[in-house]
Amino acid sequence: MSNSATRRRGQVAIEVLFITAVILTGVLLVVTPYLNENTNTSLIAYVKSSASHACSYLNSGVTVNSQPYSLLNAIIVKSNYTSKNFMVSSITSSESDDTITINVQVRYSGRIDLDNDVMALAFKAFLIRDLLDHTDARLEGTSLYYGDKKVVINVQVVGP
């Protein structure tokens, strides 16, 4: 084999490696934001589902002592074990740097002898406990993390 044929093979091999590196870099640049967005979407969908489960539990008017539902029992007791038509009225999210903030608004009808802020804290505790129990979320100190993102959950409960 001639020296020029060996050089051509070497040059082709280097060109193939360069093209492969360019393709892999392009894939990485396209796939990473997609996976990041998919993680955020999954988290928001889970929080919405969890909040809906909390509303269904409250609407049942029956208390159980299992976690995380027991965190909501005070609301059922203060509503005199009757349905108050709790429902998730909105859920929004925003992201900045490594933090995703999820805002949940819950509405109900009827009178409950409990402050809306107290109910919001119970909802928030329920959502956090449910995330910890059923997803890869984790607590570090008092901060909730999902993957490498800090998660802030804000709940607002609005009555009649």
Question: How much is the CA Rg of the chain, to the nearest whole Å?
Answer: 25
Q: Which two tokens stand for residue 25?
A: 């870099």
Give, in order, the Cα–Cα distances in Å from 34 to each of 27, 30, 45: 11, 7, 16
Closest CA to 91 of 156, 18, 159, 2: 156
For the four alpha carbons of 49, 54, 58 and 63, in that order, the dihedral sign comes to: positive
> What pLDDT is attached to residue 34?
55
Secondary structure (3-state) at 64: coil
> What pLDDT is attached to residue 104?
97
> What pLDDT is attached to residue 37?
59
> What pLDDT is attached to residue 17?
79
> What pLDDT is attached to residue 153?
97
Give, in order, the Cα–Cα distances in Å from 88 to each of 1, 48, 65, 71: 75, 8, 23, 18
> What pLDDT is attached to residue 14?
80
> What pLDDT is attached to residue 32?
64
**What pTM value is reported for the model?**
0.77
As separate numbers, helices (DSSP H) first and strands (DSSP E) second, the chain gives 3, 5
pLDDT, mean of each 10-residue run, the chain (160 residues): 68 79 74 65 91 94 89 93 92 92 95 93 96 92 91 95
Instruction: DSSP letter for 114, please.
Output: S
> What pLDDT is attached to residue 93?
93
**Pairing label, strands 149-158, 99-107:** parallel
Under 8 Å between Cβ of 63 and 31: no
